[in-house]
Structure 1
Amino acid sequence: METRDRARSQWLSWALAAALAAAPAAALAEGKYGPGTSDKEIKIGQTIAYSGPASAYGQLGKVQTAYFDWLNKTKGGINGRKITFISKDDGYQPPKAVENVRSLVEGDDVALIFGVLGTPINMSIRTYLNGKKVPQLFIAAGSSAFNDPKKFPWTMGWQPNLHDEAKFYAKHVLSANPNAKIAVLYQNDDFGKDLLNGLRDGLGDRADKMIVSTQSFQAADPTVDSPLVILHNSGADTLFLFTYSKQGAQAISKIADLNWKPATYLHLGAASVGATLKPAGLDKSTGVMTAGFMKDVTDPKWADDKDVKEWLAWTKENMPGADINDSLNPAGYAYAQTIEQVLRQAGDDLTRESIMKQAANLKNFRVGLLLPESRINTTPENYAVVTYMKLQRFNGKSWDFVD
């Protein structure tokens, strides 16, 4: 009897030891999950302007919705997990955006917030998301304030930042027309002021002499005609339009009405043929310059490009009514590909901390619709995502690179 008890006790000890040894492996196989993630699902939240003064940019959210639907149908989602994408309309109103984000985080329990439009909108939600330690990833806003991993480690932009974009234009002006008389139309918020400050920094000690007039407007203003008339009367021969699409289109149209022919630089976020230049008039838009960082999918020079062909086929199948001339469509696709890469890198560790870590460790990642020279490299110390730019000029149909 004693021998039998001893044998039974020994067997139980072995079984317990085996169970303890297997526990970590089982836990690893099951994956690590945070809010909004499981072995079957990843929840992504977004607030964006489907209505209001920046409603043209709601197209970004529509493309991203189609992309995640496509991923779910054709690839089973990401790493075997379906994407649930919840995109809400904020009308480009910061209070509504704050309300939406609180609902997404505390009600819908999303893992992260993705692709939010606009500098003032992202500023309004940044403190809350960082306090909650929720990733605020690949936002559609270029403020240099969104590359501040020390103070705001949970917030990351995507496009070239506004300050560097404006410095890029300043460098060209100093080379092409060092005696330029510059007029600036800018949106009176963090977005417009960041661009204006970048231009001043880029012009250096010549800024006060070269900039002869600046005029601001509010995002909700019905037109920008009045400030454009003032800028025209300043005698400027060079004009910067630090605007979004609606006001950019109004400004280009008004410039033509005034028979004013300044060298015109347009903020890259407004350089959409479909959303800005067509409404303004393609003939009136001829000669406008911007900082290109993506392939113009309508330009014949990219007709045989593999990535452009793939995008055109994808759009035809998944967004048959989309205007291929609208640069927001390929942009939304490229944003979505970047978040897909982050989530693929995260693998089975889908805590918010792991997702943010992967976003800050993209290495030579290539997004096919970016210019061929472009590669995405992020580090925990530098959150800049897309950094390569090349000046381009609109020829009435498409964009030509400026040597």
Structure 2
Amino acid sequence: MILNSRKAKWLGTVAVGSALAIALAGCGRDDGGSGGGDDGGSSPGITDEEITLGITTPLSGATAGPGNCTVAGLVAYMGERNDEGGIEFGDGKTRTVDVQAWDDAYDPQKALQNFQQNSGDVFAFTSGLGTPTNRAYRDAAIDEEVPQVLVQTGDPIFSDQAESPWQLGFVPTYMNEGAAFGELLAESGDDLTVAILSQNDDYGEGYVEGFKEAIEGTGVEVVKELTYEATDPSVDPQLTQLADTEADVFFNAMSITPLVISSIEKTRELGWSPSWFLPSNTSSPVAILGPAKADPEDGFYSVSFAKAPQSPAYADDEDV
């Protein structure tokens, strides 16, 4: 029995899996760029000695935390490999990796501008955070045959290899994350009520779609569902309405870090104490739960697709 009342508390993590790989077999983007390869079809941003990767991601604004974290991690990893002499690629050549990052502040128009201004100088765009921002330049990247790989969005469109071999997602799809949580509730066998707050775009819709499919035909019932805009300064009005339901579970499909923190604080102020679902990118104990003064044992669930160094589960893990 996982939940038998609104006051029940639970804690868990659904592990999805983790992978990070950079592979290059042909090294050719046929657009007559200034690369120094010897195959006649060399691409911008790559020579026999170096490859340049570009990142457009939020380095300022409400989502600057995960944006800067991603860039810092990539720069640190590639810097270490460069110090070791570089990375051997599929064509047999060893290259160092230069990482260039530009701020889009989670603004789709800025992301598109970053792509337009820099696509001629990089081999590929990678690791950018955000569904609307990555979507903003996806069509242009396909048209110019610029790889857009390991992007930080669970939008399944970036893993549709049949439509475009130039895109490759990194994180699990939003539908899969939402479904994992829905399945967990369904497996409890309890009759549960759920209130939903989701971002009014493909990000939020994906989470909700996966969740609803997983609970269909079970004792889990959605009693109220509201949305918010990524540009909203507050979601207090929505939280007040959702708290009135006294739902057992709060399915919170939000990507804006300050809003997630303020949501946890607001529900506490309202006296509503549901169990929570938080998406993988807004569930950090350090960036989210700590600032919100939330106790993980008060019923916060999320999914994980990477080994977090601060997690006790990985304290003795060789990779960590």
Task: Name the TM-score class by shorter chain.
Answer: 0.7 to 0.9
Matched AA of 1:264: W
Q: Offset of 1:29 from its aligned partner? A: 8.5
Tell me which residue corresponds to 1:110. Answer: 122
User: Contact between 1:130 and 1:152, CA under 8 Å: does it hold in 2?
Assistant: yes
**Are residue 57 (structure 1) and residue 66 (structure 2) matched?**
yes
Residues 202-351 of structure 1 correspond to what in structure 2 (within 5 A)?
202-205=214-217, 210-244=221-255, 245-283=257-295, 286-308=298-320
Q: Which has the higher contact order (CA 8 A, sep 6+)?
A: 2
* Structure with the greater alpha carbon radius of gyration: 1
CA distance in 2, matches of 1:157, 1:36: 21
Tell me which residue corresponds to 2:188. Answer: 176
Matched AA of 2:42: Y
CA distance in 1, matches of 2:312, 2:175: 31
Matched AA of 1:175: E
CA pair 284-260 structure 1, distance change in 2 beyond 3 A? farther
Identity of aligned residues (%): 29
Report the RMSD for the aligned CA atoms in angstroms. Answer: 2.2
Q: Name whichever structure is richer in strand by fraction.
A: 2
Q: Offset of 1:284 from its aligned partner? A: 7.1
CA distance in 1, matches of 2:138, 2:283: 26
Matched AA of 1:252: I
Q: Offset of 1:233 from its aligned partner? A: 0.7
TM-score by length of 1: 0.65
Counterpart selection for 1:44 from 30, 53, 56: 53
Tell me which residue corresponds to 2:107. Answer: 93
Matched AA of 1:73: D
Q: Offset of 1:126 from its aligned partner? A: 0.9
Q: Offset of 1:77 from its aligned partner? A: 4.8
Give the unaligned 5+ runs of structure 2. Answer: 1-36
TM-score by length of 2: 0.81
Deviation by residue 1:11-42 (Cα, 9 ceiling, x = unmatched): xxxxxxxxxxxxxxxxx988973221111110
* Range moving further from structure 2, 134-143 or 194-203: 194-203
**Are residue 75 (structure 1) and residue 85 (structure 2) matched?**
yes
CA pair 228-203 structure 1, distance change in 2 beyond 3 A? same
Q: Offset of 1:204 from its aligned partner? A: 2.3
CA distance in 1, matches of 2:195, 2:122: 44
Q: Offset of 1:44 from its aligned partner? A: 0.5
User: Contact between 1:30 and 1:39, CA under 8 Å: does it hold in 2?
Assistant: no
User: Contact between 1:277 and 1:285, CA under 8 Å: does it hold in 2?
Assistant: no
3-state SS of 1:156 partner: strand
CA distance in 2, matches of 1:158, 1:172: 23
Q: Offset of 1:75 from its aligned partner? A: 2.9
> Which consecutive segments of 4 or more residues in structure 1 shift more than 4 A?
28-32
Tell me which residue corresponds to 1:190. Answer: 202
CA distance in 1, matches of 2:242, 2:83: 52
CA distance in 2, matches of 1:304, 1:237: 35
3-state SS of 2:45 partner: coil
User: How many residue pairs were aligned?
Assistant: 278
Give the unaligned 5+ runs of structure 1. Answer: 1-27, 309-403
Q: Name whichever structure is richer in helix by fraction.
A: 1
Deviation by residue 1:345-371 (Cα, 9 ceiling, x = unmatched): xxxxxxxxxxxxxxxxxxxxxxxxxxx
Tell me which residue corresponds to 2:34. Answer: none
CA pair 52-128 structure 1, distance change in 2 beyond 3 A? same
Matched AA of 2:233: P
Tell me which residue corresponds to 1:140. Answer: 152
Tell me which residue corresponds to 1:373. Answer: none
Q: Offset of 1:292 from its aligned partner? A: 2.2
Matched AA of 2:44: P
CA pair 193-30 structure 1, distance change in 2 beyond 3 A? closer
Matched AA of 1:179: D
